[in-house]
Structure 1
Amino acid sequence: MAALTRLSKPACSAFSSINGIRRCLASAIALEPNGPSYVPPFALSSNLPRKDPKDRNVQWVFLGCPGVGKGTYASRLCNLLGIPHIATGDLVREELASSGPLSQQLSEIVNKGKLVSDEIIIRLLSKRLEAGEAKGESGFILDGFPRTIKQAEILEGVTDIDLVVNLKLREDILLEKCLGRRICSQCGGNFNVASINVKGENGKPGMSMAPLLPPPHCMSKLITRSDDTEVVVKERLRIYNEKSQPVEDFYRSRGKLLEFDLPGGIPESWPKLLQVLSLDDYEEKQSAAA
C-alpha cells in the first residue's frame, strides 16, 4: 500500500502538518458545543495546506482494547522507522503524576474506569504536538487517539492518516494481561508478571504468552496501576467495545483499517506484524546497516 512505499525515506522531512493539527485542536476545546459560535472542529482547518504524502514520513494510528499491547508494538515500530510514538495514555499518566490543573479531575475519571473526555484528550495532545513541533519531529504513530468519531473527524480535517492498525486479542486473555501489569516505581519501566497459557477450545485457538519480567534491581520496586483491578478493567473493556466500533467503521469505510489478530506474545506476533506491514525486509536492512 502507498503508506509502506515511503519507508525507505529518511525520517528528516519537516512535520508541517503538526502546526495545523495543534491550531485545530486548540480551537476545538475553545468552543462550547452548544454555544452560538460553535463550528464542528473538523471543519475549522479544511483549508490548511497538507504535506504531499511522498514528501513526509508515515502517519499511522494504532487501535485496540486496553492492555492489548498497542504501546509495545507502536513503540517498536517507531524505533524502527525513526518517528515519534504519541500515546494518549502516557499523556494522561504524565498529567496525573504532575500537579497540573487536570490532575485531580483525571484521577477521579481513571480510577472509575471511565474514558477521558474528548476535551481533555485534545488539550493534552495539543500540548504534546506543540512540543514535538519545536523539536522538529517528523511523522508519527498515534496510540489511543482517536477513540471517538468526533476525534477521528478532527484528525481527518487537518492531516491524512495513511493506515490504521487494529490490534485484536481475546477478552479473557486481555483481562489476564491487564491484571498482570506492573510498573517500576523507580525507573518507570513497564512489565507484566502474567504467565498465560490458554488451551484451545470451542473453535478458539490456544495461546501462550510468557511474562515480561523486570531485571532483578526492579523486582522489589514493582507497583500495580490503580486502575488495574478486575472491576475497573472489565468496565474499561466494556466501554471501549461500545465506543470503538464506530471508529473502526469510520476507517474501514475509507479503506485504511488493517485488522491484526495477535497470535501470541511478542516473539510470535512481532514478525507477523512486520510481514503484514511489508516491513520484514526493512528490519533486516536496518539491522545490517547498524
Structure 2
Amino acid sequence: LKEIVTQGKLVSDEIIIDLLSKRLEAGEAKGESGFILDGFPRTVRQAEILEGVTDIDLVINLKLREEALLAKCLGRRICSECGGNYNVACIDIKAENGRPGMYMAPLPPPPQCASKLITRPDDTEEVVKQRLRIYQAMTRPVEDFYRSRGKLLEFDLPGGIPESWPKLLCALNLEDREDKQSAAA
C-alpha cells in the first residue's frame, strides 16, 4: 500500500472496500452511528460498491483552486519527532476574471518542531500533478454520481481552516436539504 500511495497511484477497489467494510463493522459493534470518509470513494465503481455496504447521507466536495492545492501539497511538513502536521506555504492569489482572491496563511510549527520538519515523499510536484490527473479522469464522475442522487454538497474553500471551517459548519446546518446542493463560502 505504501508504495502505491508514494507513487501517487490509487489503491485497488478490492483492498479499499475490504478495509472499509471491516472498519465499519467494527464501528457498528462499538455503537458508532456515523462516519466521515476522506478521499473515498474515488471511482464510480467504489461509490456503487459503497452504497451496497452502507447508507450514504451526504457527500461533501471541498473545492480548492488548483494552484492553491498544488502549493499547499508542496508546503506540507511533518515533525519527525512528534508527528505533527504543518504547512509552510503562504497562498496569496489575486482576484481575477470574476474569481475572488484567496489567502491562506502558513500553519507554522511550534519552535520545538521547527528544526525537525520533513517533507512527505509523495509531496513532489510530479506526484501531486499525477494525483490531479487521476482525479480529473476518475473522481470527477463520482461527483456526478452523487449529484444525480441529490447527495452532493459542493463547498468552495474561501481560504485556510480558520476562514473555511465556520462557513462549512454553517452550510451543514441548513434546514432545507435542497439548499445543501450548492454552498459557497
- CA offsets 1:145-172 (integer angstroms, 9 cap, x no match): 2111111111212322111111101101
In 2: Cα distance, 1:128 partner to 1:218 partner: 33
**Equivalent in the alignment of 1:138:** 33
**Equivalent in the alignment of 2:89:** 194
Q: Give the match's secondary structure for 1:140.
A: coil
- CA offsets 1:45-83 (integer angstroms, 9 cap, x no match): xxxxxxxxxxxxxxxxxxxxxxxxxxxxxxxxxxxxxxx
Q: Aligned match of 1:274 in 154, 169, 174?
A: 169
Q: Aligned match of 1:216 in 94, 111, 126?
A: 111
In 1: Cα distance, 2:23 partner to 2:82 partner: 22
In 1: Cα distance, 2:111 partner to 2:29 partner: 38
Amino acid at match of 1:176: A
**Equivalent in the alignment of 2:183:** none
Deviation at 1:108, TM superposition (A): 2.8
Give aligned pairs, total: 174
Deviation at 1:134, TM superposition (A): 4.3
Q: Give the match's secondary structure for 2:52.
A: helix
Amino acid at match of 1:194: A
In 2: Cα distance, 1:229 partner to 1:192 partner: 14
- Give identity over the alignment, percent: 82
Q: Aligned match of 1:257 in 152, 161, 178?
A: 152
Deviation beyond 6 Å, 4+ runs, structure 1: none
Amino acid at match of 1:217: Q
Structure 2: state its 5+ residue gaps. 175-185
Deviation at 1:223, TM superposition (A): 1.1
**Equivalent in the alignment of 1:205:** 100
**Equivalent in the alignment of 1:115:** 10
Deviation at 1:122, TM superposition (A): 1.8
Q: TM-score, normalised by structure 1?
A: 0.57
Answer with 1 or 2: which has the greater Rg.
Answer: 1
In 2: Cα distance, 1:207 partner to 1:271 partner: 16
Structure 1: state its 5+ residue gaps. 1-105, 280-290
In 2: Cα distance, 1:202 partner to 1:221 partner: 41
In 2: Cα distance, 1:155 partner to 1:108 partner: 25
Q: Is residue 41–residue 47 contact of structure 2 (8 Å, CA) maintained in 1? A: yes
1:238 paired to 2:133: yes
**Equivalent in the alignment of 1:185:** 80
Deviation at 1:202, TM superposition (A): 2.8
Q: Give the match's secondary structure for 1:217.
A: coil
- CA offsets 1:211-256 (integer angstroms, 9 cap, x no match): 1112222222211111000011001011012111211111111111
**Equivalent in the alignment of 2:181:** none
Q: Give the match's secondary structure for 1:239.
A: helix
Amino acid at match of 2:76: R
Q: Give the match's secondary structure for 2:155.
A: strand
Q: Is residue 60–residue 152 contact of structure 2 (8 Å, CA) maintained in 1? A: yes
Amino acid at match of 1:211: P
- 1:158–1:255 CA distance, 2 compared to 1 (3 A): same
Q: Give the match's secondary structure for 2:154.
A: strand
Amino acid at match of 2:113: C
Matching of residues 28-43 of structure 1 within 5 Å? none
- 1:129–1:186 CA distance, 2 compared to 1 (3 A): farther
Q: Give the match's secondary structure for 2:37.
A: strand
- 1:124–1:135 CA distance, 2 compared to 1 (3 A): same
Q: Give the match's secondary structure for 1:108.
A: helix
Matching of residues 88-127 of structure 1 within 5 Å? 106-127=1-22
